[in-house]
Amino acid sequence: MTIDPEALLDDFEARRMHNCDFGHARHVAVAWAMLQRYDFVEAVARYGQGIRALATAAGAPEKFNATITVAFLSLIAERIAAAPHTDFQRFTDANPDLMTKQAVTDLYSDARLNSAAARKSFLLPDRAVRTV
């Protein structure tokens, strides 16, 4: 399946995306495209608002997790800075670990990542941080 990150981002920002159609690969694609289009701070705000809107539209606003959202965006932004790719497929080929949720879950204990505080605010990792 070919993913068009720009089209996904347009749908995401226009709130034309349904939570059932937004698996992990699409999360990464939207985040990557957003980081191509906006600076990091603006991307964090826009992405967070969009993910929260998807969770709310799905009837599960409590599923939004600020820590997961910011952590994934941070990892993606760091990889872009280390080795920019103008093509999403090349980016994913170079960073296959980002295509699994484990890229973030390895950095946090379950208790910390699933806490009420992590859902509300970004928390720093409580496990060793990998470097690029």
pLDDT 10s digits, 16-28: 988 777 889 999 9
**Furthest C-alpha separation in the chain:** 38
What pLDDT is recorded for position 54? 93
Domain boundaries in the chain?
A: 5-120
* 132 pLDDT higher than 60: no
The tally of CA atoms less than 13 A away on the side-chain side of residue 114 is 4
What pLDDT is recorded for position 49? 96
Q: Identify the band that residue 131 occupies on the pLDDT scale cut at 50, 70 and 90.
A: low
**What is the tens place of the pLDDT at every residue in 31-78?**
999 999 999 999 999 999 999 999 999 999 999 999 999 999 999 999
What is the value of pTM for the model shown?
A: 0.91
Other C-beta atoms closer than 10 Å to the C-beta of 107 total: 20
For the residues 94-116, what does the mean pLDDT come to?
95
